[in-house]
Structures are given as C-alpha cells and as structure tokens.
Chains A and B, each alone.
Chain A
Amino acid sequence: MGSTRREFVRNSSVAAAALAGLAAVPAAARAAVLGAESSPTFGDADLKELAGVALDAARTAGATYADVRFNHNRTQSLFTREQRVQAIVDNETQGFGIRALVNGAWGFAASRDVTRDEVARVARQAALQARANSVTVVRPIVLAPVTATPNGTWRSNIEIDPFAVAVEDKVGVLLAANAAALKAGARFVNSSMFFLREEKTFASTDGSFITQTIYRTQPAMTCTAVSTDGGDFQTRQSNEIAPMGLGYEHVRDAKLVENAPRWAAEAVQKLTAKPVEVGRYDLVLHPSHLWLTIHESVAHPTELDRALGYEANYAGTSFVAPPAEVLGKLRFGSPLMNIRGDRSQPGSLSAVGWDDEGVKPESFDIIRNGLFVDYQTTREQAPYLADYYRKSGRPVRSHGCSYGQTWADMQFQRMPNVSLLPGAKEQSWDDLIAATDRGIAIIGDGSFSIDQQRYNAQFGGQLFYEIKGGKIAGMLKDVAYQMRTPEFWGSLDMIGGQKSYHLGGAFNDAKGQPSQVNAVSHGCVPSRFRNVNVINTGRKA
C-alpha cells in the first residue's frame, strides 16, 4: 500500500507532497546523517553554547523546565526493479526543537535555522505556546526525577559505516540479487537499501548534555510471480531480513544475492499453493512473523499514554486499563509468556544510551509468567503509577521511553524493544512442528490490522505450510488468522529456547498526532498457539 499511495501522490501533486513534507514523513524521505563526504557537523562547543541560549531564553520566558534537541540526520535510499535503478536519494536535514513547560503545560517549537537568534526566538515561541496551552490545564504536568548527565556520549556499535561504502557497490548487490531472482522464476523484482545516521544532542534545564550517534540499516526485496494465464500473482517479501540498528555489515550478512533465488522460487510456488480451508488450527509461528504480533498485541496496549486515554483520537486506548485495576492483576497470557522492555540489545533499533528526555533506560519486565506487571513510561507518565511503585518498593522513575522522530517533532512515549523471552527448555522451530498434529506454520510478517484497544487482530504472513502429524505437508495460500489478544496469548503452549531467539522489527511504527514513526525491534522465539481461528482471504475479482 505504501508504494502505491506514494506513486499516486508523486504522479499527481507536488503541493500535497510539500505539505506532507512538513508532516511526519518517515526517515526514508526526510531524515538523514553525516558521512565523511558530508557537511560539517554541529561542533560540541557551538551546541553547548546554543543549548545554553535556548534554555536561558525558555527560562526567561517563564519555563519551569525546558529541553532542546539538535538533530543532524543523513539518509541514503536506493530503489531498483529488475535491471533498473529507479532512484538513488541522499537526504540531509538538520534543525532543533525546544520543549518548554509553563504553568504545568507543554509547548514545543522547532526550526531548521540553527543560529543563535533563531534558537532564542524559538525558545520564546515554545514558552509562549505553552502559556497559551496552559489555559486548559486540569492536571498540571509533573516530571519524575532524573539523574543529570552533564557529558554523555553514545554511539551505535557498528562495523561498517554505510555512508563510506561506494554507491556502485550497493547498486551492484541489488542488481545481482534481482538477476538471481529473475533467473529463478520471478516475473518482477523490487529491491532496496536504506541507511540512516542520526546525530542527536540533547540538553535540559536539569543539567544534562548528551550527544548520541545512531545508525539504522535495511536491505529489502520483493519477488513477484505471475501465473502463465495472467489470472493470479503472488509476492514474496524478504521479511526475515529485519531492519536493524547496524551498519553495512547488516547488508553483507543478509546475503541478498544468495537468498534471492529461494525467495523467487517461493513466490512461484505460492501460485499453485493450496488455498487454506477455514477453521481452527494450531499455529506454529516463526520469529520473523511473531515479532509483529507481539508489536501490535503486546507492545502497543502496554503503553501508559494509551491506557490513560491520551491517544484515544488516533492510536486508540488499551484493554490493559485502568492501571490501578490491571497492574500486577491482569492475566495477559499463559505462564510461558515473559515480556521485557529494553533499549540495550546489540543491533536493536531502539538501542540508545539515553532517551529523548535524558533518561538512561533500564530493562524492565512488562509481563512476568503471563501476569501484567508494568507499563512503558516517560518522565511525565511515571508519576501516574506512583502508588503501585511505592507498594512494590520501587522508585517512581521513567523507563526511558521518550522519543521524537526528528528535530521538528515533539518527543513523547514510544515503545522500546519489547521482546518475548526464550523458554527454559532448548527447543527449536523444527521441534515445535514435530510436536504438532494438525496446524499451520507461518514464516514472515504480512498483512496486519488490530482494533484501537488491541483486542481483535488479523495477521497474514509470507509463507504458510500445512502441518500434518508433526510434518510439513505442503504450502498453503490466502491464510490469515483472527484473534482476541488475551485468549491468543493464553493459548501459548510451546516456546523455543535461547538458540532460536531472533530480532524482528520495523522502521515505521506510527503513533501520535502528528503521526511520528519510531524504529523498534522485537525479539522472540518460535512459539505455538492452540486452536486459532483461520480465514481464507482469497476472493474473485
């Protein structure tokens, strides 16, 4: 859908695009970073001084708290189809955003013009906007305490800077992969690479000054097969290759050229796969598929702003609410289910040293043995849980889940990596299939949709295999399962071990108004769910 929508807009209207450009256009279109051949970065000395100007101006204008984020992003995208490079796009953006708290209300203003005068002007604008917003205040914002970090630095641990790799090498990999897929029977092939480097400097009136450099990389491929009579077409996306917080080594390790023939062959195989019979099946879900189910049905409903009603107009609320009635009480799923939030897994998309309000994130349990025990929080949210934390003998602190997609967007609560922990017993994908009498094995994420409280969801996939008597009996197509979250997670009865752990993830998780994208990984293991409702999505045009 994304690409067709994009094409429609591109071929039709530049002003729509211009206005969208000011919106939450994802990293692919706007964000970017800084390579050897790039323009000079913000110098530390300059930024410290400018940060001082910003924070002083905000305080003078009445702010009781303020923070400033300077971003300098560089992205590079390459798009190909068959033998052709469709686009090579290099994008660089820099600017700053200032958040000011006045009379218990937030204001936020941002500008691309990183000069002393503009920084002071925008700081006043943020404070004055906060004052205008404060007229409606019912419950003033209170921030949980934070430990100041006067000189923090953090960097993604990458091997190869993607911006130092020659473009012709990248093009070479993509076109070679396309050729391999075409040779293996694909009628059409699209492939792409996306790279981001984000330089982010954060300063606050609490005394923090933090500089971080974050990398993200995604190679991707879609093979399309068309039946000889033109009556059917099927696609196979390379969704096991997740976007990662890594450098060019991720492209190298993805082995597109080596994998392309298999993906193409699977697209062809899908044309003649057996349409699924509707009914209830045991599902064995591969981590390359399950990460998205975790994202939608576990990670989103455990965001505290949703539970409190703050996202009711778009992302929605949550069935995991109200907090006082569910914390430590709600049985979310089977006792095999342990879910943890973190921003530290190496190579994960959410990994950072500090979040966008200067909090050092710690790993925290969200679901323990099937029981819901904690929400994802920011500094303004943690105080809502003060009673619960006091009762459990824990400090009222943010879990470090604040994030703003670019300098132009106000930071708010975004999910960290939210992962399903491996089971104690070391068992594999094959072991789960062998233990299943009648079921469907699903690999790769596909179509996905879930309601605004995260109860009712429907998921497709990339590849579906019928399981009969513990063995793969053949390929299926037109498969989607529908679920109700607590029943689905309650039906989890087999779970893989540490050796089968895999990080999936997404670059473009949307939330908030204006909609902002967040990049997040979800670790998980192969898992089996019993007696799930499967529908057939194939229809005749």
Chain B
Amino acid sequence: MTELRSLASARYLSREECEALAKRALAFVTAADAARINITSGSRGNTRFAVNQVSTGGDNFDTAVTVTAYSGRRSASSTTNQLDDAALRQAVQMAERLARLAPEDQEFMPELDPQQYEAGRAWSEATASLDPMGRAEAVRAITAPATQAGLVSTGYLDARAGASAVANTKGLFAYSRATATSLTTTVRTPDGSGSGWAGASHHDWTRIDPAALGARAAEKARASRNPAAVEPGRYTVVFEPTAVGNLVQFISFALNARAADEGRSFFSKAGGGNKLGMKVVDERVTLVSDPFDPEIAGAPFTGEGLPTRRSVWIENGVVKNLNYDRYWAQKKGVSPTASGGSLRMSGGSTSIEEMIASTSRGLLVTRFWYLRPVDQRTILYTGLTRDGTFLIENGKITRAVKNLRFNDSPVFMLNNLEALGTPVRVSASEDGGPGQAVMVPPLKVRDFNFTSLSDAV
C-alpha cells in the first residue's frame, strides 16, 4: 500500500511555485493599468460511509489562478485552472478585455502596496498526510462498534490541505498554507425510531477522536428511541455547543456595515445609522474573530492581500465593530475589517449537567437542521432540531421527544441567557464539511420559540 500513500499524499503549490506562477501570469499583463493574481491550490480527500460500510470516497487535486485586471477605474476577473503559458495569457487577456468593457466603478479601490503578514497557524501535517487508508481506519473505529451494537452508522470524513497566494503589479505578495478536516456521524437504530449525531472539526486531525464520536452518536441513538410528542411553544432549552454554533454563526453573517448603514440589516438603527455602541445581547456575550487563535485559526490575509487581525464584534453585549470592506471603510473613515472569518463566543462556568439539573421543565437540543433565514430585520431563522432532542423534567432528562421546528433569532436567544458553559470547537456547518471555524459554549436559554412538531427521526 506504499503506492497508495504516495499516490494520495496532499499536493499543493509551495511558496516558490506560487511566486513563479504569479510572476509568469503578471508578465502577460500588457493592456491593464494594474492587476492582481489570486492562486488557490490543494488536495482534498473524503470518505463517506453508510449502513456500516464505506459507500464512496474521493481524492482530488486542483489549482486555480484568478486574474483581476484594471483599466483605470474599471475591472474584471478571469479564472483558469490550466497553468501553461497559453492558458495564463488567455486568462489575462480575457480579464483585460472584460475590464475595458466594464463601466467605470465609482467605488474603485486601488490595489494594495506590499504588506507585512504574520505566519498562518492553520496547518497540520497530520491532516495533510491523512490518506484513504487512514480515513478507512478512522471510519472503522465507528462502523465496527456500531455493527457490534446492532446499530446503523453513516458519516463523512473530509480532509483538505491547500495553499493560497495573492500577488499584484505593485509588488505585493502573500502566501499561506492551511489544512481543514471534519468528521461527522449519524447513528440510527435499525427500526428507524432513534437517531444520534456527533461531529468535530479542526484544522488538526489529531484533535478529532473517531471512536469517541461514534460512541457519542450511538448513545444518543439509543436514548432517542420512541420519542414522545410535546406541545410546540416557548421552552427553556439547554443547547449543546453544536446547536449554539449552528445559530450564533448567523450573527457573524449579518455584520455587514454597509447594509447596516443603508437601513437593511438587524444592525441598522431606527431613524438612520447603525447599532455600533448599542447593547444588543446579554452582557455575558462577547463575539470575536481571530485568525491567530490556534483553536480557530484562519488565514493571515484576505483575497485582496490585506493582513487579517483579531476583530471584536460584540463585547459584553455591546456592538463594537461591523464588517467594513475597503471602500466602505474609506467612506466612513475607519479601518477596513479583515477578520479571518472564524468565530469565538465567550463562555461561563456552568456545565451541561448543571444546566439540566437547574431546569424544572425544558428541552435539550443536540443540533439543528435546514436553517433558513425568514426575516433579515431580526436575523430570524427557521429550522428543526435533529438527532437527539430530549425532555428535561425536575432536573433530569426523562425521555426523548419528537423533533420541533422553531422560528427564532440568535439575537433573541442571546438576550434570554440563563447560563453559559465552557466554549468548545464545534462542527457547525450543516453539510458536515469543515466550514467556518466556530468555538462556542453550551447555553441554557429561556423562552425559545418552537412553532410545530415534526415526525422525522
């Protein structure tokens, strides 16, 4: 199997290769006044399993070069994944041609001068070297115990290793490598009456424990059998960290400063302006993006080559920052945001067990599914609980309950806080891929609004 290992080892372009490729592409720039090259390169491997066996897998390798060309205040982009001179020249010429045809951009921002970058922290050799055999081994750590227990396991392991680079005609160059991985599993009882989920995501594969995830999902599957119906309505809810991550990340997607200033966002202030400086959630809540936090590490630069840095969005419940692109930042006289895209929420010291113990009647939610925006004015979403929803009575989990649909907002939820636990890294994306790096605590929240029951298990 040495051949397999060598065939499947992660491929991506090195700093020198990216520099050479960018230089080669920029050399074809003739008509444009300025140009930028963005390069992404990398390998991605995945293994899927269903009904206790590997169902499919995939390994792929790609490199793409995007040329953005400027003609005065006009610009356009062209992308190719063919790296020979003819293809690069053609991509440059296409961008140049489209740029000349574009109208003048009133919001034109010139390319950046060379910048200084901190080294990225999102690289793990263990992730980069995870091959199909290693993946199959990890999967067996879930499927074998499930088979033995008479349960049905399904799941997905995704591992990526890649590099990205930015270069422009002003001499800017940035390069960074990153890895990402996630493993999620859904374990069901053979009669379909119980379903449990567990998942983890990190840039470092060694931080994921397949057997532990399988055991957790199996335990939830058994415990969730034969769920009872409860009346929809407002409940005190203990949210496991994944469920918190599912919802709280929507606040980060609503942080656009321009939309707020234009009056079409939750962060718009009635009568004009935005909610900077206003208290919008419980004072125990702080939301931060930090590309250099090793638990939620992100890239050291943006696609334009701007160095990323820590951004505090909400501090002690008060809006401290919104997301400003370079144009809007200039217009408003502030620095552009370059946050790295990850999210960490402050926590507290209450354990999930203590949250349950202090609840006379409530629900415990493992995770959410099919979350969709309903009303941007309030960041109101709808979605359903899934794979482990339980009734809490008199301080104890008493039984499994049917899944419920909610219509509520993470903003309302963070105003109704009862208790917070220790933040942990979660797999918050619905599709089980690595997604946004999210680290959040478990929460106990009052008055969460469930609007209907679902028969789905």
A1-9, A282-290, A365-373, A392-400: which one contacts chain B?
Answer: A1-9
| Residues in A whose Cβ lies below 8 Å from that of B224 | none
User: Is A320 interfacial (CB 8 A cutoff)?
Assistant: no
Q: Are the C-beta atoms of A456 and B405 separated by less than 8 Å?
A: yes
Q: Are the C-beta atoms of B298 and A13 separated by less than 8 Å?
A: yes
A313-B155 contact given A95-B81, A108-B57, CB 8 Å threshold: yes
| Residues in B whose Cβ lies below 8 Å from that of A448 | 372
Assembly CA distance A43 to B7 (angstroms)? 28
A90-B94 contact given A136-B49, A410-B58, CB 8 Å threshold: yes
A453-B457 contact given A94-B82, A128-B7, CB 8 Å threshold: yes
Q: Are the C-beta atoms of A90 and B341 separated by less than 8 Å?
A: no
Residue of A at shortest CB range from B84?
A39
Assembly CA distance A31 to B81 (angstroms)? 10
User: Is B164 interfacial (CB 8 A cutoff)?
Assistant: yes
Assembly CA distance A7 to B339 (angstroms)? 12
Residue of A at shortest CB range from B48?
A513
User: Is A422 interfacial (CB 8 A cutoff)?
Assistant: no
Q: Are the C-beta atoms of A537 and B380 separated by less than 8 Å?
A: yes
**Inter-chain residue pair count (beta carbon < 8 A):** 418
Residue of A at shortest CB range from B431?
A515
| Residues in B whose Cβ lies below 8 Å from that of A109 | 7, 58-60
Partner of B323, one of A11, A21, A93, A113: A11
Interface residues of A in 112-168 (CB under 8 A from B): 112-113, 121, 124-125, 128-129, 131-139, 166-168
Partner of A23, one of B154, B160, B186, B437: B160
Assembly CA distance A241 to B411 (angstroms)? 34
Partner of A456, one of B38, B300, B384: B384
Assembly CA distance A124 to B120 (angstroms)? 34
Q: Are the C-beta atoms of B432 and A513 separated by less than 8 Å?
A: yes
In this complex, how many residues of chain B approach chain A with their Cβ under 8 Å: the count is 150
A228-236, A253-261, A338-346, A468-476: which one contacts chain B?
Answer: A228-236
Interface residues of A in 77-94 (CB under 8 A from B): 83-85, 87-94
| Residues in A whose Cβ lies below 8 Å from that of B90 | 38-39
Q: Are the C-beta atoms of A11 and B338 separated by less than 8 Å?
A: yes
Q: Are the C-beta atoms of B42 and A18 separated by less than 8 Å?
A: yes
Q: Are the C-beta atoms of A456 and B323 separated by less than 8 Å?
A: no
Assembly CA distance A482 to B374 (angstroms)? 13
Q: Are the C-beta atoms of A1 and B303 separated by less than 8 Å?
A: no
Partner of B78, one of A90, A231, A450, A480: A90
Identify the A interface with B (CB < 8 A).
1, 4-5, 7-19, 21-24, 30, 32, 37-39, 83-85, 87-95, 97, 105-113, 121, 124-125, 128-129, 131-139, 166-168, 171, 175, 187-188, 224, 226, 229-233, 308-314, 316-317, 319, 321, 408-410, 412, 447-456, 458, 460, 478, 480, 482, 484, 510, 513-515, 533, 535, 537-541
27 of the cross-chain contacts (CB-CB < 8 Å) are: A8-B255, A11-B323, A12-B339, A13-B340, A14-B38, A14-B299, A16-B341, A18-B164, A23-B160, A88-B98, A92-B81, A95-B81, A110-B59, A124-B3, A128-B8, A135-B140, A166-B101, A171-B103, A312-B152, A317-B188, A319-B455, A449-B370, A449-B405, A453-B455, A456-B403, A458-B407, A541-B377
